[in-house]
């Protein structure tokens, strides 16, 4: 790929802000492939099982059956695939060429997206931002803020119109 044809990665979680990021990317990068990435979390059933059962302080942990973990992981993957495809559809409806890419979370969402950006040698990364503000994002974390620091590629942060 040459610098003029490198794709643009768009993070998509189905939120209004992510939808606006897809539409903006389709407008600004119409001549490039948009890779619409949706991150899903395998093993979420195991995380839920780590919640104590019983009295506080005397709790025990009951791991879910392997079949339950597998079924939940499959459902999460199918949801991520549907979300990525919906984002890619938004991009094509806006006149861009797009590819849906559901990706399992390897460590956290920002690291996973940054890895895709590097792997695809992306020209840029486009993400939506909920605009939580400094205090709330400091408490809950901000994926868009982390991505500014995690990748060396240009990052466009898009807010949904009010």
Closest CA to 6 of 120, 127, 95, 150: 120
Q: Could you say which DSSP state residue 151 is in?
A: -
Average pLDDT for residues 33-45, to the nearest whole number? 85
19, 85, 114 from 146: Cα distances, Å? 20, 25, 9
pLDDT at 11: 96
pLDDT at 46: 54
Tokens 């939120």 — which residue?
Answer: 15
The highest-confidence range among 5-19, 43-57, 103-117, by mean pLDDT, is: 5-19
User: What's the pTM?
Assistant: 0.81
Q: What's the CA dihedral at 115, 8, 133, 48 to 10 degrees?
A: -40
Domains, in order of start, for the chain: 8-159 (3.40.50.620)
Average pLDDT for residues 104-114, to the nearest whole number? 89
pLDDT at 102: 96
Average pLDDT for residues 32-57, to the nearest whole number? 71
> Which are the contacts of 77, defined by CB distance < 8 A and separation ≥ 6?
40, 42, 102, 104
């Amino acid at each position: 790929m040459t610098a003029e044809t490198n794709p643009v990665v768009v993070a998509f979680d189905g939120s209004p802000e992510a939808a606006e990021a897809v539409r903006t990317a389709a407008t600004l990068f119409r001549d490039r492939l948009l890779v619409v990435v949706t991150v899903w979390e395998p093993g979420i059933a195991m995380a839920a099982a780590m919640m104590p059962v019983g009295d506080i302080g005397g709790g025990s942990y009951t791991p879910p059956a392997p079949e339950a973990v597998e079924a939940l992981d499959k459902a999460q993957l199918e949801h991520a695939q549907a979300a990525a495809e919906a984002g890619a559809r938004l991009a094509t409806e806006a006149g861009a060429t797009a590819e849906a890419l559901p990706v399992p979370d390897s460590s956290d969402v920002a690291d996973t997206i940054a890895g895709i950006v590097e792997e695809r040698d992306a020209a840029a990364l486009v993400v939506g931002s909920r605009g939580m503000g400094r205090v709330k994002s400091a408490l809950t974390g901000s994926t868009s803020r982390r991505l500014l620091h995690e990748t060396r590629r240009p990052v466009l942060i898009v807010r949904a119109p009010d």
